[in-house]
């Protein structure tokens, strides 16, 4: 069944002379808009006039919730993809294939198998396992032969938890559209030797750092932390469901209000939050020497004396 899905995915693009498929699984619709912009920049800078046809298969995760904001972003993504396909496509060729629907595991694996590169560029994420899944599927059923001529390329955001473990991947800041476009070009145009070397390195890491390895390292860390157990200070933090117990070194000293206040007067404080710019502006808009980064840095504003006077006047 899986083999037939792979052949179907390959057949979808048989009319393209050179096929390099980049797979993009992003954290949220907000981040997804960057992929189409980055891909557009990549096409403009690298491929126009080169005769090379590449396809970005952009797979969007279903949103965690519904609302006017989600619908607006969804419409913006569709509009961007349609515009790029209209401006840079040709009869029988679309630079972007947008998969904005739930797909089965088998269909997702089929995309992994035929994709020359995986682009994972969320602006904020935890331990994203998609790069690992992609590398394993590119290895295929030949799990024992590390030196088989398999290839894979990864472009990953520096803001995902698995980024430090993928030493052969190309790390990018997804807010930097130009750098991400260049990374896409590097991944797709890389030599077979580089693709094979990176694939072998990642596949070895994935297969040797399994759940048993994690369990052993967790137990070792737990034993190490218990050595000086009686010499640490314990403090309770939070209330109700936010209550937790924190362990501090015996030399730890809590900052006093005076120290924090003096540091605040000499420096500009940044508040980085996933909240909307309207909420952060309403809460902190009257605080001097404060910079606000809303929606994980998508909107940045510096609070000035002038802006405070304008807000108070309104």
Each residue's pLDDT tens digit, 272-281: 888 888 888 8
How distant is the alpha carbon of residue 87 from its chain centre?
A: 27
105 and 196 together in one domain: yes
* Cβ contact 156:120 at 8 Å: yes
Q: Which residue has the higher pLDDT, 272 or 28?
A: 272
Quote the tokens at residue 34. 């960057």
Which residues lie across from 291 on neighbouring strands?
270, 302
CATH for 16: 3.40.50.2000
CA–CA distance, 237 with 252 (Å, rounded to integer): 15
Query: What's the pLDDT score for residue 303?
Result: 67
Three-state DSSP at 58 gives: strand
Query: What's the pLDDT score for residue 22?
Result: 38
CA–CA distance, 254 with 156 (Å, rounded to integer): 37
56 found inside a domain? yes
Per-residue pLDDT band at 20 (split at 50, 70, 90): very low
145 and 289 together in one domain: no
119 found inside a domain? yes
96 and 13 together in one domain: yes
Query: What's the pLDDT score for residue 95?
Result: 81
| Angstrom distances, CA of residue 304 to CA of 95, 265, 290, 313 | 44, 14, 8, 14
45 found inside a domain? yes
Q: Which residue has the higher pLDDT, 258 or 19?
A: 258
238 and 201 together in one domain: no
147 and 238 together in one domain: no
Strands (E), the chain: 21-26, 55-60, 96-99, 117-120, 154-157, 170-172, 233-237, 244-248, 269-272, 290-294, 299-302
| Angstrom distances, CA of residue 309 to CA of 19, 262, 285, 287, 314 | 57, 24, 10, 11, 9
Helix ranges, 115-163 (H): 130-139
Q: Show the domain range for 286.
A: 234-245+248-313
Over residues 178-199, the mean pLDDT reads 87
Q: Which residue has the higher pLDDT, 49 or 204?
A: 204
Query: What's the pLDDT score for residue 170?
Result: 93
**pTM, two decimal places:** 0.64
33 and 111 together in one domain: yes
Write down the mean pLDDT value for the chain: 75
97 found inside a domain? yes
The answer to whether the Cα torsion of 162, 164, 170, 176 is positive or negative is positive
203 and 241 together in one domain: no
- The H or E element containing residue 8 is helix 2-11
Over residues 240-260, the mean pLDDT reads 82
Number of structural domains the chain divides into: 2
Would you say residue 202 has pLDDT above 90? Answer: yes
Query: What's the pLDDT score for residue 219?
Result: 92
263 and 202 together in one domain: no
Over residues 170-180, the mean pLDDT reads 86
56 and 146 together in one domain: yes
Per-residue pLDDT band at 201 (split at 50, 70, 90): very high
Nearest Cα neighbor of 39 from 49, 26, 54 is: 54
Would you say residue 309 has pLDDT above 50? Answer: yes
193 and 261 together in one domain: no
CA–CA distance, 118 with 115 (Å, rounded to integer): 7
Query: What's the pLDDT score for residue 25?
Result: 36
169 and 300 together in one domain: no
Over residues 4-23, the mean pLDDT reads 43
CB atoms within 10 A of CB 27: 21
187 and 283 together in one domain: no
Query: What's the pLDDT score for residue 145?
Result: 59
78 found inside a domain? yes
């Amino acid at each position: 069944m899986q083999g037939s899905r792979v052949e179907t995915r390959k057949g979808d693009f048989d009319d393209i002379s050179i096929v390099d498929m980049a797979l993009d699984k992003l954290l949220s619709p907000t981040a997804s808009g960057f992929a189409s912009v980055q891909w557009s920049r990549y096409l403009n800078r690298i491929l126009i006039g080169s005769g090379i046809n590449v396809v970005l298969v952009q797979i969007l995760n279903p949103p965690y919730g519904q609302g006017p904001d989600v619908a607006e972003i969804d419409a913006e993504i569709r509009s961007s993809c349609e515009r790029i396909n209209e401006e840079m496509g040709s009869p029988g060729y679309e630079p972007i294939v947008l998969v904005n629907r739930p797909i089965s595991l088998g269909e997702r694996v089929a995309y992994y198998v035929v994709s020359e590169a995986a682009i994972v560029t969320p602006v904020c994420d935890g331990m994203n396992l998609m790069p690992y899944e992609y590398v394993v599927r590119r290895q295929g059923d030949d799990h024992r032969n590390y030196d088989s001529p398999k290839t894979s390329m990864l472009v990953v955001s520096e803001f995902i938890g698995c980024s430090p473990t993928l030493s052969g991947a190309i790390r990018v800041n997804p807010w930097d559209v130009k750098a991400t476009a260049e990374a896409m070009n590097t991944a797709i145009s890389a030599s077979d030797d580089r693709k094979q070397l990176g694939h072998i390195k990642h596949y070895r890491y994935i297969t040797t750092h399994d759940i048993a390895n994690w369990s052993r390292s967790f137990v070792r860390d737990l034993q190490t932390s218990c050595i000086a157990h009686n010499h640490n200070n314990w403090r309770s933090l939070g209330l109700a469901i936010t209550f937790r117990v924190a362990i501090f070194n015996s030399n730890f000293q809590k900052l006093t209000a005076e120290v924090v206040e003096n540091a605040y007067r000499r420096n500009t404080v940044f508040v980085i939050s996933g909240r909307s710019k309207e909420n952060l502006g309403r809460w902190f808009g009257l605080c001097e020497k404060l910079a606000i980064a809303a929606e994980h840095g998508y909107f940045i504003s510096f609070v000035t004396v002038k802006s405070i006077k304008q807000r108070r006047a309104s």
